[in-house]
């Protein structure tokens, strides 16, 4: 065989014995044909590509990121601990210098899981990338990170978790929320007071093809990454922009995905959605593996690929050009926009309804972000759900000043227990969690 240009670590964990239900898209069969393709191509024999088994994540790894209601144990299955553990193992292989890049092909996915977790929404319970990243930050120290979400659905969970964190730049391009679940991900969702401008959404019109995706990458994503200079780039690698995906309306291809990963050059990719399990996933996953390993991917192609049919219409091209200009301008003007919006504000409040489509739960929540001159600021969330819980969660961020740390603990102690069914405190500075 031949040698990969980049040493690539693969955590391939198809969880062949786990499903949401036997006919649900997130079922045992999902990565079966991907496995066939990877095996038949002889990927494991390529010099420089290493396969790793997942580790099993611990409860506190989940508590570091989420307020699970009522607790971690009852919300997660073993598969969730392993999916997250797989991503952590992949990231560690880079941090320990075993490989140059890593791809975690794990399931179930995670990017719709918010900070507060009542159950499953968008097939996600825990946010795989966030739990992975915060574990790595805890063990290896601070990192400036960019998460680029290439799933067709808006990565609303990841956005929620990093909403107020300017050291984690979140960029999501996805099918416009007016036409697809979860119905969010618009340009004006731009981040909390401390992270304003570091949450970037690029809602693309249905029918976007290779040309459009690569245009957005070249003209918005890459220039922003150039300026942001992250230590690590994570690709939240959903594969449902594919033209054969049964639940979306885009026209991206396997070769397009490979090209995207070649240009984006992420340190780590984590599989998210993608449910065209026979016609798309085997080819997209192969394309991503080859691109990340630095191997020629020009022969990767779907059986029914037809360039003519998939050509992007002119009007979509024009729309995307304008959209890209707007998004990039907003990034350029983020300081000004922030000053304008946050003048003389001490606390920023944000109230929302969140629907859990998979588990049929409705949540109403109010977040409060303190505007602090010394740190990202203490923040809280008050939330009630249709399942009868009524919770209060306090987060002391990683970079909290001593006043915010003290105030967080005081608030936890002084909140009368009768008012809520559950009260939580995340002290990220001391890596301590109370409930």
Partner 1 sequence: MIVGLDMGGTHIDGVIVEDGKIINTVKKPTNRDNLFESIWTTLEELLSGYDKSNIRRINLSTTVSTNAIVEGKTSPVGMIIQSGPGLPTDFLACGDENVFISGYIDHRGTVVKELDLEEVERGLKLFKEKGIESCGVVTKFSTRNPSHELVIKEMAEKDFNPVTMGHSMSGKLNFPRRVYTSYLNSAVYDTFNEFADNIKKSMEREGIDAPLFVLKADGGTMNLSTAEEKPVETILSGPAASFMGINAMLKTDRDALLLDIGGTTTDIFFLADGIPLFEPLGIKIDRYKTLVRAIYSYSIGLGGDSSIKVEDGKLKIGPKREGRPYAFGGPMPTPTDAMIVLDLIEDGDRDKAHKAMDILGKELGLSIEDVAKKVLDTMGGIIKHEVDGLLYEINSHPVYTVEELLYGKEVQPEVINIIGGPAKVLKPILEEKFKLPCHYPENYHIANAVGAALAKTTTEITMVADTARGILSVPELEVYEKISRHYTLDSARDRALQLLEESALSLGAKEDELELEVTEESVFNMVRGFFTSGQNIRIKAQVKPGLIQELRSDRVV
Residue numbers annotated as active site? 112
Smallest gap from Cβ 294 to partner 1, in A, equals 12
Question: Which residue number, 24 or 178, has a Cβ lying nearer to partner 1?
Answer: 24
* Contact (CB, 8 A) for 324 and 318: no
318 lies in the site for partner 1, by CB under 8 A: no
Query: Rounded to whole angstroms, how far apart are CA atoms 130 and 277?
Result: 25
x/- contact string, 17-36, with partner 1 (CB under 8 A)?
xx---xx---xxx--xx-xx
The closest alpha carbon to 243, from 230, 231, 228, 255, belongs to 255
Question: Which residue number, 48 or 408, has a Cβ lying nearer to partner 1?
Answer: 48
x/- contact string, 63-82, with partner 1 (CB under 8 A)?
---------------xx--x
The pair of three-digit structure tokens given for residue 360, joined into one six-digit string? 């049929």
Per DSSP, the residues of 370-392 read: E--SSSS--EEEEEEETTS-EEE
* Contact (CB, 8 A) for 395 and 162: no
Q: Which of 97, 141, 303, 418 binds partner 1 (CB under 8 A)?
A: 303
Q: Which of 9, 48, 54, 212 binds partner 1 (CB under 8 A)?
A: 54
Smallest gap from Cβ 167 to partner 1, in A, equals 33
Residue 355 CB contacts under 8 Å (≥ 6 apart), including other chains: 121, 182, 361, 362, 363
Smallest gap from Cβ 15 to partner 1, in A, equals 6
Q: Any long-range contacts for 333-339 (C-beta under 8 Å, 24+ apart)?
A: 334/190, 334/196, 334/197, 334/198, 335/197, 337/190, 337/196, 337/197, 338/193, 338/196, 338/197
Q: Which of 8, 15, 125, 271 binds partner 1 (CB under 8 A)?
A: 15
Reduce the DSSP state of residue 425 to 3 states and report it: strand
Question: Which residue number, 39 or 335, has a Cβ lying nearer to partner 1?
Answer: 39
Q: Which of 7, 9, 26, 37 binds partner 1 (CB under 8 A)?
A: 37
Which listed range, 51-59, 114-122, 163-171, 399-407, lies at the site for partner 1 (CB under 8 A)? 51-59
Q: What are phi and psi of 63, to 5 degrees?
A: -65, -25
Question: Which residue number, 29 or 142, has a Cβ lying nearer to partner 1?
Answer: 29
Question: Which residue number, 108 or 408, has a Cβ lying nearer to partner 1?
Answer: 108
Q: Which of 5, 51, 350, 357 binds partner 1 (CB under 8 A)?
A: 51
∠ CA 27-30-31, nearest 5°, is: 135
357 lies in the site for partner 1, by CB under 8 A: no
Question: Which residue number, 30 or 370, has a Cβ lying nearer to partner 1?
Answer: 30
The closest alpha carbon to 435, from 63, 160, 162, belongs to 63
Smallest gap from Cβ 24 to partner 1, in A, equals 8
Integer CA distances (angstroms), 188 to 193, 341, 371, 377, in order: 13, 12, 19, 22
**By CB under 8 A, how many residues form the interface with partner 1?**
47
Residue 346: CB atoms within 10 Å: 11
Reduce the DSSP state of residue 114 to 3 states and report it: coil
CA distance between the termini of the chain? 53
Q: Which of 5, 39, 144, 227 binds partner 1 (CB under 8 A)?
A: 39
Question: Which residue number, 105 or 372, has a Cβ lying nearer to partner 1?
Answer: 105
Q: Which of 42, 97, 388, 416 binds partner 1 (CB under 8 A)?
A: 42
x/- contact string, 262-301, with partner 1 (CB under 8 A)?
----------------x---xx--x---x----xx--xxx
* Contact (CB, 8 A) for 331 and 224: yes
Q: Which residue has the tokens 């029918």?
A: 207
Question: Which residue number, 246 or 386, has a Cβ lying nearer to partner 1?
Answer: 246
Smallest gap from Cβ 206 to partner 1, in A, equals 20
The closest alpha carbon to 78, from 92, 60, 59, 93, belongs to 59
Which parts of this chain interact with partner 1 (CB under 8 A)?
A: 1-2, 12-18, 22-23, 27-29, 32-33, 35-37, 39-42, 44-45, 51-54, 56, 78-79, 82, 246, 278, 282-283, 286, 290, 295-296, 299-304
């Amino acid at each position: 065989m031949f040698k990969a240009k980049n040493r690539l670590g693969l955590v391939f964990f198809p969880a062949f014995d786990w499903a949401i239900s036997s006919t649900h898209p997130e079922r045992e069969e999902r990565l079966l044909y991907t496995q066939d393709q990877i095996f038949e191509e002889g990927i494991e024999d390529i010099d420089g590509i290493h396969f790793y088994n997942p580790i099993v994540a611990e409860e506190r790894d989940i508590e570091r990121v989420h307020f699970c209601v009522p607790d971690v144990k009852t919300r997660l299955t073993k598969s969730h601990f392993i999916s997250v553990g797989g991503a952590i193992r992949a990231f560690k292989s880079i941090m320990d210098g075993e490989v140059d890049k890593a791809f975690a092909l794990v399931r179930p996915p995670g990017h719709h899981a918010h900070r507060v977790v009542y159950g499953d929404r968008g097939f996600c319970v825990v946010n795989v990338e966030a739990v992975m990243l915060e574990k790595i930050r805890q063990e290896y120290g601070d990192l400036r990170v960019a998460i680029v979400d290439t799933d067709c659905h808006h990565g609303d969970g990841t956005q929620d978790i990093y909403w107020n964190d300017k050291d984690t730049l979140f960029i999501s391009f996805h099918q416009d929320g007016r036409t697809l679940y979860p119905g969010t991900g618009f340009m004006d969702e731009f981040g909390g007071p401390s992270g304003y401008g570091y949450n970037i959404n690029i809602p693309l019109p249905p029918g976007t093809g290779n040309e459009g995706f690569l245009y957005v990458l070249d003209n918005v994503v890459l220039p922003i990454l150039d300026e942001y200079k992250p230590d690590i780039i994570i690709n939240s690698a959903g594969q449902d922009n594919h033209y054969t995906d049964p639940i979306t309306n885009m026209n991206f291809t396997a070769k397009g995905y490979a090209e995207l990963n070649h240009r984006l050059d992420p340190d780590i990719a984590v599989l998210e959605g993608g449910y065209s399990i026979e016609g798309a996933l085997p080819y997209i996953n192969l394309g991503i593996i080859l691109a990340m390993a630095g191997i020629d991917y020009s022969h990767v192609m779907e059986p029914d690929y037809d360039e003519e049919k998939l050509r992007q219409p002119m009007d979509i091209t024009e729309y995307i050009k304008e959209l890209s200009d707007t998004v990039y301008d907003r990034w350029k003007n983020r300081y000004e926009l922030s000053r304008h919006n946050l003048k003389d504000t001490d606390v920023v409040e944000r109230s929302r309804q969140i629907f859990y489509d998979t588990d049929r739960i409705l949540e109403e929540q109010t977040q409060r972000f303190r505007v602090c001159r010394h740190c990202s600021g203490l923040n809280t969330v008050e939330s009630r759900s249709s399942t009868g819980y009524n919770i209060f969660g306090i987060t002391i961020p990683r970079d909290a000043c001593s006043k915010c740390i003290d105030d967080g603990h005081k608030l936890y102690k002084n909140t009368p227990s009768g008012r809520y069914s559950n009260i939580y405190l995340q002290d990220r500075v001391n890596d301590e969690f109370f409930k």
